[in-house]
Structure 1
Amino acid sequence: MSKAFTKETDADGDEQDGLLPEIPAGAKNYITPQGYARLRSELLQLIDEERPKIVEVVHWAASNGDRSENGDYIYGKKRLREIDRRIRFLTKRLELAEITDPAVHHGHDQAFFGATVTYAEESGQERTITIMGIDEADTAQGQVSWVSPIARALLKAREGDVVKLVTPLGAQEIEVLEVRYPAPPGLTR
């Protein structure tokens, strides 16, 4: 039989089918304490709650006899594979995680991991982004991964610096207007 018709293993796709970028070779998986807590919470919820429920459904469905036409069994096994793949992914990412608290830079004007940076493009348009970890960045919330081109251009820049941003449309200069960090716990502004 041709290899084209064989079933792929469950281990394939551990990088979540390309939904999240891979960590660059030799780089650390920087993450905020809040991001780490969210990933860990998801992992524990999958292990302690969701997976046992699905195992119970699959066990019940298997006891009903013919599995070839048993929707509960077929769906349950598929869902178990998805859960196990996500558990493996989260476990790997958490093992590689380097927790970095952006609050340690509170009051500084240089952009590091966790900074919220306001910058002006050549057109004069101002944008604000927060530099986050690969596994926690949400572009809809104005968060970008620290490995993204804009974050790479802004990292280590100070307020007032003009940096070069290389995009598919060509290079442009952007000016750093403001750099902010969250306040450490217990410190009010």
Structure 2
Amino acid sequence: MNKAFTKEEDGSGPQRLPDLPISPHPNHVTPRGMAQLQARAEALEAEIARLRDNVDYLADGYPLAVAERDLRYVEARLASAILVAPPDGPVSHVSFGATVEVVDENGAAARYTIVGEDESDPGQHLIAAFSPLARALMEARVGDVVEWPKPTGTVDLEVTAIWFDASAELTGPRPPAQ
């Protein structure tokens, strides 16, 4: 029989799933992103310990294999993390970790925070630094109009405010709290 059609594992030990792919982009993280990765690693370690203590896991080792694979991924991301702290002084332009308020050509306002890949969540307006929107915003200053290339066409966005957190100095008028 062709080796491609045979099963490698004999079922005598726990499964080992293939590792998740690691992004080719630099692994820049905000302090919050680093804390999230560390918390995720701790949660996965606790889940692995719980699964190993459960004798029933031997019947179905898949949940353990998933948790171990995920922990390997998170540990690799932590090992390659490049922590980018917010600037100490006044904010003059958009950079990694910044929250940016913009207004589009129709007057609709939006806020986006430029974060690392593992922290990104477009639904929460947390955008990865290598995304088209983040690349359009990088280095912009309050009052600049940037072009955001979208599949439906280019959108002009005016930068109206830039900040890093509630205690950081704000360039432009402070937006109302959400």
Structure 1 residue 125: Cα displacement: 1.4
Residue in structure 1 matched with residue 117 of structure 2 by the alignment: 134
Query: What is the identity, as a one-letter code, of the residue corresponding to 1:56?
Result: D
Residue in structure 2 matched with residue 82 of structure 1 by the alignment: 66
For these two proteins, the number of residue pairs brought into alignment is: 162
Residue in structure 1 matched with residue 29 of structure 2 by the alignment: 31
Structure 1 residue 51: Cα displacement: 1.1
Q: Deviations over 1:160-183 (max 9, x none)?
A: 111111111122222111111123
2:58 corresponds, among 69, 73, 80, to 73
Instruction: Choose between structure 1 and 2: higher helix proportion.
Output: 1
Contact 2:115 2:128 in 1 (8 A): yes
Structure 1 residue 115: Cα displacement: 0.7
Instruction: Supply the distance in 1 between the matched residues of 2:150 and 2:8 (Cα, whole angstroms).
Output: 40
- Point out where structure 2 has 5 or more consecutive residues left out of the alignment: 10-14, 169-178
Query: What is the identity, as a one-letter code, of the residue corresponding to 2:18?
Result: D
Change (3 A) 1:32 1:116: same
Residue in structure 2 matched with residue 56 of structure 1 by the alignment: 53
Q: Deviations over 1:93-130 (max 9, x none)?
A: 1111000112x255313000111101111222111111
- Point out where structure 1 has 5 or more consecutive residues left out of the alignment: 16-21, 62-71, 185-189
TM-score (norm 1): 0.75
Q: Deviations over 1:41-90 (max 9, x none)?
A: 2212322x221221121xx34xxxxxxxxxx5333x11110011111100
Contact 2:145 2:157 in 1 (8 A): yes
Is 1:12 the counterpart of 2:12? The answer is no
Percent identity, aligned pairs only, is 29
Q: Deviations over 1:17-60 (max 9, x none)?
A: xxxxx53x3x421111121122112212322x221221121xx3
Is 1:115 the counterpart of 2:98? The answer is yes
TM-score (norm 2): 0.79
Is 1:99 the counterpart of 2:83? The answer is yes
Coordinate RMSD, CA, aligned: 2.4
